[in-house]
Amino acid sequence: IFTPTEAAVVAVVYAFVISFFVYRTLQLKDMLKMMVGSAVTSALILVIMGAASVFGWIVTMENIPALIRDFIMATTDQQWVVLIILNLVFLVAGCFFDICAIILVFTPMILPVLTAFQIDLVHWGVVEVLNVCIGFLTPPFGVGLYVLSDLSGLSVSQVMKAVTPFLIPLLISLTLITFFPQLVLWLPEIVFG
């Protein structure tokens, strides 16, 4: 019914109406503080994305993706080995960097590798996103742990203890969708033929 952007706007309007008129927990004096906080967060994300775009441009101009492809092709000719290597790279990167930055920086670098090893791009897109989301929550450096700690008021160690049991099924899911692409591709194949 909505595009993602329109759905976000509808959700914000809905939350505003419910908070302001129904629960009466939101006051006009709080609005300025919330808008400033949103503007600062948006600016931070845009700076990260801008820096990642510049880095991606430099990487492309220096032909680093082709060098990476040639190195991996000289190392192995097995698709499953490439998938394991890329999974490990993205899991580790997810622990240290913002999700948007990882996707903007690393994806153009590995695209030639994916095409050289005939890895379906839709399949890899799902694997990549799951990788960085797991890395985002992985102790001890996952950025998401610190965000959750700040929002919940709990210590980082408490958040780590709460998150750790969820990493096991996530890693099992990652392994399954990495090595059985049809788990991801069956629906797009039905819809798009």
The pLDDT, as a whole number, for residue 6 is: 93
Query: 1 and 90 share a domain?
Result: no
Q: What is the pTM of this model?
A: 0.74
Last residue of a domain, one of 46, 62, 78: 62
The pLDDT, as a whole number, for residue 114 is: 94
Query: What is the domain count for the chain?
Result: 2
Query: 156 and 187 share a domain?
Result: yes
Query: 148 and 94 share a domain?
Result: yes
Q: Which residue has the tokens 């006051």?
A: 27
**What long-range pairs does 164-173 form, CB within 8 A, spacing at least 24?**
164/139, 166/137, 167/134, 167/137, 167/138, 170/130, 170/133, 170/134, 171/134, 173/130
Query: 99 and 145 share a domain?
Result: yes
For 105-155, the pLDDT digits (tens) are 888 889 989 999 999 999 999 999 999 989 888 876 777 888 888 888 899
Query: 149 and 161 share a domain?
Result: yes
Query: 92 and 107 share a domain?
Result: yes
- Euclidean distance between CA atoms 158 and 183, whole angstroms: 34
84: its two tokens = 């394991």
Query: 171 and 136 share a domain?
Result: yes
Asked if the model's pLDDT at residue 46 lies above 90, the reply is: no
Last residue of a domain, one of 42, 62, 82: 62
Query: 72 and 143 share a domain?
Result: yes
**Dihedral over Cα of 136, 2, 173, 72: its sign:** negative
Last residue of a domain, one of 62, 77, 111: 62
Tell me the residue range of the domain where 3 lies: 1-62
Compute the average pLDDT of residues 164-190. Answer: 94
Report the candidate in 105, 129, 138 with the shortest Cα–Cα distance to residue 178. 129
